Amino acid sequence: MKKITRCALAISIIFSSCQKEETELRRNWMSPTGLENFCEDKRALGESGTVSYLLEENLTDAQIVQRIKQRNGLADYYVIFLEPVVHGDISTALDDIDPEFLAFPLHASSMSDKWSWDYYEEYKQDKQAFLDKYTNGEETGGMKYCNL
């Protein structure tokens, strides 16, 4: 009986010490809401900040934007753009980005080779070909916001 108890105790210790590591991510965001010159002045950022979340939460960009609005007390009408690069326990440019939440081409990412100035040059050459290649033909939020 002692052997079974010891074995059960050892197994429970092993399982309790095997905790899954969580991966924290951070993403920068900005809102042009209320800025009259946002579409003309590329330096205008408006409200901005960083939002943290766990990779394991598997949040969509829309859910991340909702979290930003809730945590910062922003009204539903606020437009939020997300950076295409995440930082934290891993730092990378994201491949699967909802174009609705990209400020591109108003703001290019300097932290990555994706959505950078090279993308901007490609966009200027042929807007529709660019959209077909990177966003399944959908305009970005920045394009819609400024009627580009």
For strands 81-88 and 47-54, give the pairing. Answer: unpaired
Q: Give how far Cα 20 sits from Cα of 16, 23, 25, 90, Å.
A: 10, 10, 16, 16
pLDDT tens figures, 54-98: 988 889 999 999 999 999 999 999 999 999 888 888 777 676 789
pLDDT tier, 9 (very low <50, low <70, confident <90, very high otherwise): very low
Indicate if the pLDDT at residue 11 is higher than 90. no
Indicate if the pLDDT at residue 119 is higher than 80. yes
Lowest mean pLDDT segment, chosen from 5-9, 20-24, 58-62, 89-93: 5-9
